[in-house]
Structure 1
């Protein structure tokens, strides 16, 4: 628990500390309990509580009887006082979520990613979908804190620019953050999709078992979100998490990067669809050419999505060829995860993303077992591999949580007083 500070210049920090504490206490907290938890004076807590009540961010909710004396009034978060919008841009699908102030999903919606290579067209569609989402839920714009957008990297987070995502043709040097802000009128934050997914897991479940974990993101591409000591690792340029070129098969196929056996090229959905088609699991209509990192015009994302569902159902029904393909994919993923676990000493791997749920019944236990049995594994503690409880919307939820985080989470940088 972060402590507050009884200094005149840190009101915003203290407000964030108290608001974050109230958010995490679902039954509410009294002013006395808040003072004990934060180390703030009773007067400071009272002043901040009044500001939060006046802003409609918290409400008084019942009384707490704790021994002799006057009952204490509980403060609870007013979840419907503010909202955040989260958007996830994936080459296959664009996901939109509306979150309340507590981070709960009020509404979600998905559309196929517009096929136009012109980013302006896609951004215009995003803005219209956001407008329609707020209208359907009768949320006035003034109660929206902002929009978070999760997108594939690499990106320049300082300038809010997508640099050149390998699976988004025509998206080189696109100023996505500012363009969406201009189109919607809301402040916009931009985050890499795998990092946003890790943020979502921290926000939804902030228990101690979430102190050190990796989020295996399985979408159109493959990535990893990293959390160490309860902090999300973003790296020097906010582009941490590209695990696709970890080599897991020395004699594997040649990747576009020039190496052989890169995990991303071996296990991404369109590669598994190709193998399933070649093995007779699927019909011959699925695309068989193209590389995950090669020209995107060789990849039919809509066909991949449909055929991947057919492939996953075949594996779940026990089709021997389909199961063998997933077992091989599990081996490749486990080898890559062992390298990450050894490097960062995490004890949990959370798996999610738009394509994961479809193969999770076959993959999760296999990956967990293969990680545990790998002779290269160094940490002696168990490595738990689990499915995300958030579901396919995890990156969009994380994007929305980034907006909430800026409002609710205390930041020690607020204590720096400029001269």
Structure 2
């Protein structure tokens, strides 16, 4: 209970921005004045919070404002994408201090882990950060994951990654503790940490990367699932007449909604010559960027391809939101900014038409507040979240 109360106070101070007095913390948390005093004294001694001046609001002694000491703890977030690796250094507030991107090497896991370690070291050196203040490294990767063993198991587009012990290998290479998280779940955690919406709410996060995935937030916590692999939606059918998928079904998300599927549809429509030398992540990324640029320039045929992709994606989203009854939908990921304008124009109307609760309420749809780095930022926030955020599960008592 003591750890949970400390997390509640710290989270309340963190979300306040400018800080709160002890009396304001009592009002905001419902904890006793003695509990707030004891916990804030301990947080001050540990340097996690700091005094930020005094204010006079009426009779009596001035109130001391307590705010987060954001530089007291740092974390590193890494997003492993088949095309590009993103690295960020975060402070305790979740703000990005330093970032960099690197092209993902050929699929050999050893080369990729070595490249990760080198990029992390360069990031720390360039930022001038004290290594002692870095709580750990969070890595967001495509699933599925074996969380108990810290391994990545056959992720899409990383074809040689069969049970790669990424957690332990990167920890050995860098000297920092490493936490693995699915890229979709990490993105949802980033939205929780940096968003301004109520912490007790719920939302569906739709992740647009080389693959499509989802994450679910209920009562202010990211749902991870029993094996921490929630959100695998690649083989949900959204177009029964669509292309044949490797799973044997037609029209799965994997072959209809992903960037590769959209690029292939554009090639079949004659928007591009079908002259790509390969279907690797980098070439798909390049051609998808070209397609979106044509849409922005007013190419009606290119816009029709993206519009059809939005319609297919709405089938997936509406099926999930009708079942889960969440407050809102958030979209993000490394491919999001390129389709944001068209998708935000089309998806609300499409989802409203398919909503089972349209007579009761609207379903807000928005893009992530974090930007394209949402996976990496989320991975770094996962490290901070493990230590700092209050979890109701912490109150469960063992027998």
* Equivalent residues in 2 for 1:338-377, closer than 5 Å: 338-374=318-354, 377=356
- Greater CA deviation, 393-402 or 261-270? 261-270
* Equivalent residues in 2 for 1:11-30, closer than 5 Å: 12-30=3-21
Residue 35 (structure 1) shift: 2.8
Residue 395 (structure 1) shift: 0.9
Runs in 1 of length 4+ with deviation above 4 angstroms? Answer: 412-419
Alignment CA distance shift 1:262-1:415 (3 Å): closer
Q: Does residue 1:324 correspond to 2:304, yes or no?
A: yes
Residue 87 (structure 1) shift: 0.5
Q: Does residue 1:223 correspond to 2:203, yes or no?
A: no
Q: Deviations over 1:353-373 (max 9, x none)?
A: 111111112222112211112
Number of corresponding residues: 398
TM-score normalised per structure 2: 0.94
Instruction: Report if aligned partners of 1:286, 1:303 keep a CA contact under 8 Å in 2.
Output: yes
Q: Does residue 1:45 correspond to 2:36, yes or no?
A: yes
* Equivalent residues in 2 for 1:223-262, closer than 5 Å: 223-262=213-252
- Greater CA deviation, 209-218 or 66-75? 209-218
Instruction: Report if aligned partners of 2:204, 2:214 keep a CA contact under 8 Å in 1.
Output: yes
Alignment CA distance shift 1:400-1:257 (3 Å): same
Instruction: Report if aligned partners of 1:97, 1:109 keep a CA contact under 8 Å in 2.
Output: yes
- In the other structure, the counterpart of 1:266 is 256
Instruction: Report if aligned partners of 2:202, 2:326 keep a CA contact under 8 Å in 1.
Output: yes
2:126 to 125, 136, 144: 136
* Equivalent residues in 2 for 1:114-125, closer than 5 Å: 114-115=105-106, 117-125=107-115
Alignment CA distance shift 1:269-1:131 (3 Å): same
- In the other structure, the counterpart of 2:370 is 390
Q: Does residue 1:110 correspond to 2:101, yes or no?
A: yes
Gaps of 5+ in 1: 288-297
Alignment CA distance shift 1:59-1:369 (3 Å): same
Q: Does residue 1:164 correspond to 2:154, yes or no?
A: yes
- Give the superposed CA RMSD: 1.9
Q: Does residue 1:173 correspond to 2:153, yes or no?
A: no
2:116 to 114, 117, 126: 126
Alignment CA distance shift 1:74-1:209 (3 Å): closer
Residue 180 (structure 1) shift: 1.1
Q: Does residue 1:87 correspond to 2:110, yes or no?
A: no
Q: Does residue 1:101 correspond to 2:119, yes or no?
A: no
Instruction: Report if aligned partners of 1:281, 1:314 keep a CA contact under 8 Å in 2.
Output: no
CA distance in 2, matches of 1:80, 1:313: 40
TM-score normalised per structure 1: 0.90
CA distance in 2, matches of 1:409, 1:28: 17
SS in 2 for 1:29: coil
CA distance in 2, matches of 1:249, 1:415: 44
Alignment CA distance shift 1:266-1:413 (3 Å): closer
Q: Deviations over 1:78-107 (max 9, x none)?
A: 111211111111111111111111111112
- In the other structure, the counterpart of 1:290 is none
- In the other structure, the counterpart of 2:27 is 36
Q: Deviations over 1:204-230 (max 9, x none)?
A: 115238712111111100011111232
CA distance in 2, matches of 1:272, 1:108: 29
Alignment CA distance shift 1:356-1:210 (3 Å): farther
SS in 2 for 1:208: coil
Instruction: Report if aligned partners of 1:155, 1:192 keep a CA contact under 8 Å in 2.
Output: yes
Alignment CA distance shift 1:129-1:373 (3 Å): same
Q: Deviations over 1:166-222 (max 9, x none)?
A: 221111111111111111111111111111111111111152387121111111000
* Equivalent residues in 2 for 1:278-297, closer than 5 Å: 278-286=268-276
CA distance in 2, matches of 1:283, 1:164: 31
SS in 1 for 2:123: helix
Q: Deviations over 1:203-258 (max 9, x none)?
A: 11152387121111111000111112322122121111111211111121110011
CA distance in 2, matches of 1:285, 1:140: 49
CA distance in 1, matches of 2:273, 2:398: 66
Instruction: Report if aligned partners of 1:312, 1:359 keep a CA contact under 8 Å in 2.
Output: yes
- In the other structure, the counterpart of 1:410 is 390
Instruction: Report if aligned partners of 1:348, 1:384 keep a CA contact under 8 Å in 2.
Output: yes
Gaps of 5+ in 2: none
SS in 1 for 2:40: helix
Instruction: Report if aligned partners of 2:199, 2:220 keep a CA contact under 8 Å in 1.
Output: no
Instruction: Report if aligned partners of 1:270, 1:304 keep a CA contact under 8 Å in 2.
Output: yes
- In the other structure, the counterpart of 2:188 is 198
